[in-house]
Amino acid sequence: MKQILPWNVAGIPPQARELARSAAAREGLSVGDWLTKRIYAEIPHDSPDAHGEPAHSAYRERNYRADLEDSARRDRDALIHRLARSEVETESAFRRIDDTLRALARRLEKTERAQNESKISVHTATTEFNSVIREQANNFTSLARRLNIVERTADTGALRNAVRGLHQGVSRLAEHVAKTTNESSTRIDAFARTVETVSQTAQTARNESAQLAKDVGGRLNALTENLARSEKMLGGIEGRVENAMGSHTASVEVKFAAIAERLDRVEQSRNEEKSHFESAIKILKDRLETADKQSREALSDYRLTLEKMGRRVEGMDGAAPELSPQNVASDIDVFRELSRSENVGTESAEAARAAPPPAAATGRRNAPTGLSGARATATRDAEDGERTALRRALFAIAATMLLLAGVGYLIFASGIAPFDNAFASG
């Protein structure tokens, strides 16, 4: 099933990312290689050799797929690297913002604490000053009352001295109070200026923090837009890769179907050739067995004939046989049997059948009516004719055996040649 929407890593939680990084680090691979390995391990794919694809086609297909996978893996690794770098930069920016805000909060707390302490000290000084003024007023009132009493009851000279001393003390006290008041005013003015400076600093810090927050928000928005564009580009790349893989897979499937059909036809033709070859081998085996059987029968006949001829030759070498019609008839029977056994139609056999034995037999038939010289001549002619016939018969037997061997070889070669041609064409 083809994926409709492009997938991305934006929806993957941080815990899953950390688990993937740790698993890839344990295996000594990058995150992209580890994900590719896991995907190929989870998705089974057919081997190209299962459909009978040639070795060079499978190698070309593997190279094409490897190139596609390498390009996709490089793009994915580059995007993951950019995402990781953006995350690191964002985290560092947030960390700096947090540090700045914490420092600003600490400064504001210190300023507020100092302002509160100054207010408390000013309030305490004002309270003490008011209490001192009230005490002085009470003292002046009591002093005036006592002076009135003294003026009414005591001597005025001593009173004047006392009043003069009191006036001097009061003057010094007034100077001291004025001096204290001036110093307090100066301190209050300095404190007010300090408080105003702190307020301005706090306002400036608030403005800077607001501007920094605005800048951070703009950078975050730009980063979000960059991530969206990167995800869109990755989706386009994945779509192109999927389209290329789909078209290539369709063409490969068509090629696989054609190759499978060709293999079926080849297998069917090979089965037919095999059955034809087996039937031809069976026929050839039967023909060879028949030829072998005929050859053995002919050889046994030749062996019997040769044994008879050998016995006759031994008899001729030992003593001249008597010329009688029975011997002539037996010779004629032997040569007739030899001519019947040589039914292959060779010229040597025809020559053996047309040899002098008939003439010798004719001479032997006419011998009893001739003279003694003619009888001796006929005897020698008969012996020479028999020897010549034996030689010709031996040559005919050898030629027949060679002819049988050649015929067997020709039969075997004629039976094997179609299959050699079939195997050579296949």
Q: Which amino acid is at 126?
A: T
Q: Quick one: pLDDT at residue 402?
A: 61
Alpha-carbon torsion (130, 132, 135, 140), positive or negative: negative
Closest by CA position to 400, among listed 341, 332, 357? 341
Burial 179-200 (b: 16+ CB within 10 A, else e): eeeeeeeeeeeebeeebeebee
Tokens of 21: 């990084």
pLDDT along the chain (426 residues), means of 10: 52 79 82 82 55 51 70 80 80 83 86 84 82 83 80 66 79 83 81 81 81 81 82 80 76 81 84 81 82 77 75 61 46 51 45 43 42 59 68 67 60 53 50
Q: Say if residues 99 and 25 touch (Cβ distance below 8 Å).
A: no
Q: Say if residues 220 and 90 touch (Cβ distance below 8 Å).
A: yes
Which stretch of DSSP H or E encloses residue 300?
Answer: helix 156-318
Phi and psi angles of residue 370, each rounded to the nearest 5 degrees, phi first: -85, -170
Alpha-carbon torsion (63, 65, 71, 74), positive or negative: negative
Please give the torsion angle defined by the CA atoms of residues 215, 216, 218 and 222, in that order, rounded to the nearest 10 degrees: 140
Long-range CB pairs of 367-373, under 8 A, 24+ apart, other chains included: 367/323
Tokens of 304: 């019997």
Q: How many angstroms separate the most distant Cα atoms in the chain? A: 239
Q: How far apart are CA 297 and CA 345, in angstroms?
A: 17
- DSSP string for residues in 40-90: HHHS----GGGGT--HHHHHHHHHHHHHHHHHHHHHHHHHHHHHHHHHHHH
Which stretch of DSSP H or E encloses residue 371?
Answer: none
β strands within 104-245, DSSP E:
none
What is the DSSP-derived secondary structure letter of residue 6? P
Q: Quick one: pLDDT at residue 351?
A: 45
Angle at 244 between CA 238 and CA 249, to 5 degrees: 120
Q: Quick one: pLDDT at residue 225?
A: 85
Q: Quick one: pLDDT at residue 40?
A: 79
pTM attached to this predicted model: 0.24
Q: Say if residues 339 and 355 touch (Cβ distance below 8 Å).
A: no
Q: Quick one: pLDDT at residue 415?
A: 53
Q: Which amino acid is at 26?
A: R
